[in-house]
Structure 1
């Protein structure tokens, strides 16, 4: 058994200083993923700093119309917040579809951004894995890969990013706010916060050791009021997505004035479908255009023989989400 020390931090500066000073330390929030990985010896910190007492759980509208969500706000609280449900239905739906009620009551929004992949090779401490031990290889490429990514992959990693709500936040161009040692702060655009695996799949985020997520800022996006989160999975009971789509649509006389699309379950990070968005702006809201946009977005997919079905499934899910919004059907 590995000994682990534990301490509770009363303020952000103390927590950041404690973790920054020790390469073997880590923050602990809801722990819904972290504790599992500790038990499996996938994560091996020597010291845990509990940050649950920090005042980072508010959900506050900003003067510019944005919404600032504290990093320690629980998933269930965010999903139930009236402003979230009114302005960003896709966020509330992604949170409710993302986990059981018990997990949503514990899991924090910041922790959700930092959760690790569900790849079985990563989670088996005895298997080689470039994400866990760089240079050891990616057995999923030639092995069991049904649930793995087809977009954003590399020869070093094909693991799928697991978050649901991060997909909705990617579609909305959210920003992640952090604080580092010396009270230095950063604001990361979502595309910059989630790194593609490339040749360094062990590096998933640009954060320095000890840099703490403090908030997620969702900008004012009028189109998001007409949005949904569609999740396709093997079973209905809080399974991870095979494919998911966060979509928002605004029409003027049957023509697409604005659209936001992001994909989950198919990529190594929350995948903003910008090629599809560019195709659709100014197009007539009809099935043929939705299908072509989906084909354009998935044209760069690199599937394995085991997960090739995801390409068509993702295209069909995108069309279904867009048609649902275009027809004014319930999300």
Structure 2
């Protein structure tokens, strides 16, 4: 919690929902009076001290709901660290005329890299091979053959920035690329499918890259997962909410699909414990943008959006 305003301290007050790396915290502390929500034991007492807060710095996952916004009468904008904004209550922000910013583009390449990496890892069974070597069992046994990625039929669900970047990378592997997108993209040089189910029935591996939120909830549903079939793979680098997780686990347990590479889950970080017992998965703790270079660029873009707002200049990356 911040201290009462010092006489002459003209720094704008902001509410931060979570900590950022030190390379961001130092310039943020210099520019703003920060209310640290994640540190407060009594959240309501903290919010009562935030009547002059003019901006919320949050993440797409944590977001900013209507209750939080209503507790901040002076708030003027919401700045998200990350491209996702599914945790923001846009009905509430629109009612107040509050702009929302995010950090697109700067993380596109890293997430697309990880999407391809997860596809390679689960299809070539790289984690299993690593364990095989480290455990010493290589001396006495051989691993079964894996599946190749190059030249496969790759389906992408969501052809935004990350989906397009993933397709560009997959072209280098000679993949036959198809996609499903909620809005038509006739300019793309890839085969379009009318439904996720049709795409999954065609593909060897499906990579989900679309945004989270109510409009994409469980878009990779039970029928789409079944359409992948026992030789098919699923990779998700979007949000856990975009996949019917119960149906996915069932398919992985029963051989309904061959495997999955997952960077995102429902109820992160308290994920379904059944994932830990699935040998046909490669699991990561939501690290699609987790490189030093990208996280520094994301933090800079958040700070640039805040600075632009308080200077009365156009926002760099407004969502709306």
TM-score range, shorter chain: under 0.3
Which structure dedicates a bigger proportion of its chain to strand? 1
What is the TM-score with the length of structure 2 in the denominator? 0.23
Query: TM-score, normalized by length of structure 1?
Result: 0.22
Query: Highest CA radius of gyration, 1 or 2?
Result: 2
**Which of the pair is proportionally richer in helix?**
2
